[in-house]
Every structure is written in structure tokens, then in C-alpha cells.
Amino acid sequence: MFSIKSILSFFVLLQALLYCTAALNKSKLDLDKRDPAASPNKPGYNYKPRCKNGEKQCNKQQNGYTECVKGNKKFVKCRRNQFCVMLNGPNAMCVAKTGGRRN
């Protein structure tokens, strides 16, 4: 009738088939659990673009500049008698206001 070899081979193949089916179902379920609101185009996505170390940009609303330190932006406020100017490239600094007349 059936030999032991053929029966064992059948069960090994059956087990492999069940394992593959379970693995496929698991990956499909993991995709279904993903939150649709957490995509780059949706609000609430927590991705912050990294800045390059040393980059500085003037912030005219607050009279100062933002500087990149270890991938995070840090605000540096200019003193009362200073204002921010952009230099060549991604660089900014606070300079003293002159006592000239305003038009």
C-alpha cells in the first residue's frame, strides 16, 4: 500500500505548505494593521526633515536666526541693538544696527 517514506514525505510537504500559508497570512495582517493616517501626506505624521549641521537662516519675525545643531533647529535671538543678516550660502549672523537716519 503506502510506504513509510511516502507517508512521511506527504506530512513534510503538508507542514511546509501550512507554514507558507500562515506566513503569507501574517504578512497580510501586518499590512492591514498599518495606520492610514500615518502617511507622509496626512496630518499627524511625525516626520521632521533633518537639517545640516551649521546651517543658519534668519528669522525676521523674532529678530534672530535658527541654527542646525545635531539635526535639530535651535533659535538664537539677536540682542536689542542687533539684527540678523544672511551671508553667502546657508549662513546668518547678528550684526549691530547703525545710527543712520531712517527714511
Beta strand extents in 1-103 (DSSP E only) = 56-59, 64-69, 72-77, 82-87, 91-96
Record the cell numbers describing residue 75, joined without a space. Answer: 533659535
Task: Specify the pLDDT at position 64.
Answer: 92
Q: Which residues of the chain have pLDDT under 50?
A: 32, 103
The residues that bridge with 56 in the sheet, in sequence order, are: 67
Distance between CA 75 and CA 57 in Å, rounded?
10
Whole-model pTM: value is 0.47
Task: Specify the pLDDT at position 103.
Answer: 44
Task: Specify the pLDDT at position 92.
Answer: 92
Task: Specify the pLDDT at position 65.
Answer: 92
Residue at grid coordinates 533659535? 75
